[in-house]
Amino acid sequence: MINYLVRRLLYAVPILIGVNLLTFWLFFMVNTPDDIARMHLGRQHQKHVSMAAIQQWKIAHGYDLPIFYNPSRNGIGHLTDTLFAEKSLAMFAMDFGAADDGSDIATEIRTRMGPSLMIAVPAFLLGLWTNLSLALMMVWFRTSWQDRLGVAAATMLMSISSLFFIIGGQYLFAREWCWVPVSGFEPGLDGWRFVLLPVLVSVLAGIGRGSRWYRSVFLEEIGKDYVRTARSKGLSEARILFVHVLRNGLIPVLTTTVAVIPLLFMGSLLTESFFGIPGLGAYVVEALQGEDFAVVRSMVFIGSLLYVLGLILTDIAYSVADPRVRLS
């Protein structure tokens, strides 16, 4: 087990290096620091940006280094005093540098993680519970009109853009009925009023796809031999569904769910920016709208780190849930 984990962790390293190289290539070679500087200066209504202004911007934001090799330094400085080392490799040490407005990205990420989790964790748990219950209900009523109605409703729900859920939910619950505030956030337990609606909306937006997927998993389980055996032994249909089928069906559910858990840290772009939650999702949206490449790059790196972590967790969850799977 330990052996396997160490190997998996080592396997994650080349993937992260790949992500690192890919983002570096995109952000520094396709779009050079000169282009970034020109874009930012151009936005301040300077039609023709002078070379001197570009140089100044690059120095102010630490982009005035050579890309891979610095001939003006000595020894190891040849390699460390370069854009690649400063901006890209440093991320492995969780050093993300400063955003365009001068704030430290790592500090920002740490403080914004909390609000993101306040929304994402309840939404995840409630969503999982709702989707599983709905799926079990549809399977219980399988091949009847109730099941067909459920599938039709789920298909309709999944055909509605999440934007409509957010806008509609905000309009109905916050503006029309005034049950909860329109947007905003407050840390701690007092902030439940702000959390309620975003969580509800996220759950609702996920019901369609989620319940349909779980339903198909359970339906596949219910056609298997052990179910027939259980039935022929005289077990009640309820016991078969809620004990045997549920436990076996949870294996594929578990593996897809566990992979998502680390990504909960990233929050949700749309929900957070609509409801004014100061989380990581909103941070990304702000960075995208302000064209802050340093923040986007850092979030790409963190996102892939969490994804790889999710892959490893999936493997562990698989072996815990399914004794047939051995890690080796």
Partner 1 sequence: MMGWQPVVLWSDAAFWLILGLTGMLIWRTRASARDAWGRLFSMPAGAAATVVLLAFLAVAMLDSMHFHARLPGVPVRYDVTVRSVLDVILQPLVAVPEKTYSAPLASRLFTRIQTTDAHGLPVREFAMLNIVRLHPARPDLPVRAALRSVLTGMMVFLAGWWLFGRTGKQPVSALFAMLAATAVLVSAVVFCVQVVGHLHVLGTDKVGQDVLYEALKSIRTDLLFGLLATLLTLPLGVAFGMTSGYFGGWLDDLIQYVYTVMNSIPDILLIAAVVLLMQGYIETHAARFDTAAARADIRLLLLCLILGVTSWTGLCRVLRAETLKLRELDYVHAARAFGVSHARVLIRHILPNLGHLILITLVMDFSGLVLTEAVLTYLGLGVDASMASWGNMINAAELELARDPVVWWPLAGAFCLMFALVLSANIFADSVQIAFDPLGRRA
Which amino acid, one-letter code, is at 304? S
Q: What is the longest distance spanned by two Cα atoms in the chain?
A: 85
Q: If binding is defined by CB under 8 A, does position 255 make contact with partner 1?
A: no
Q: If binding is defined by CB under 8 A, does position 260 make contact with partner 1?
A: no
What tokens appear for 322 in the block? 């399914």
Q: Are 111 and 105 in contact (CB under 8 A)?
A: no
List the interface residues with partner 1, window 199-218 (CB under 8 A).
Answer: 212-213, 216
For the CA atoms of 106, 111, 117, 118, the dihedral, rounded to the nearest 10 degrees, stands at -170
What tokens appear for 68 in the block? 């891979």
What tokens appear for 125 in the block? 């748990």
Q: Of these, 111, 133, 161, 236, which contacts partner 1 (CB under 8 A)?
A: 161
Q: If binding is defined by CB under 8 A, does position 139 make contact with partner 1?
A: no
Which residue, 262 or 278, has its beta carbon nearer to partner 1?
A: 262
Q: If binding is defined by CB under 8 A, does position 89 make contact with partner 1?
A: no
In 3-state terms, what secondary structure has residue 146?
helix
Q: Which part of the chain contacts partner 1 (CB under 8 A), choosing from 33-41, 64-72, 88-96, 314-322? A: 33-41
- Which CA distances in Å does 309 have to 26, 104, 251, 259, 283? 24, 25, 19, 8, 22
Which residue, 103 or 161, has its beta carbon nearer to partner 1?
A: 161
Q: If binding is defined by CB under 8 A, does position 13 make contact with partner 1?
A: no
Which residue, 158 or 235, has its beta carbon nearer to partner 1?
A: 158
d(CA 201, CA 183): 13
Q: If binding is defined by CB under 8 A, does position 181 make contact with partner 1?
A: no
Q: Are 278 and 112 in contact (CB under 8 A)?
A: yes
Which residues contact partner 1 by CB under 8 A?
14-15, 18-19, 22-23, 26-27, 30-31, 35-36, 38-39, 42, 155-156, 158-164, 167, 170-171, 175, 212-213, 216, 220, 263, 266, 269-270, 284-285, 288-289, 291, 293, 296-297, 299-300, 303-304, 307-308, 311
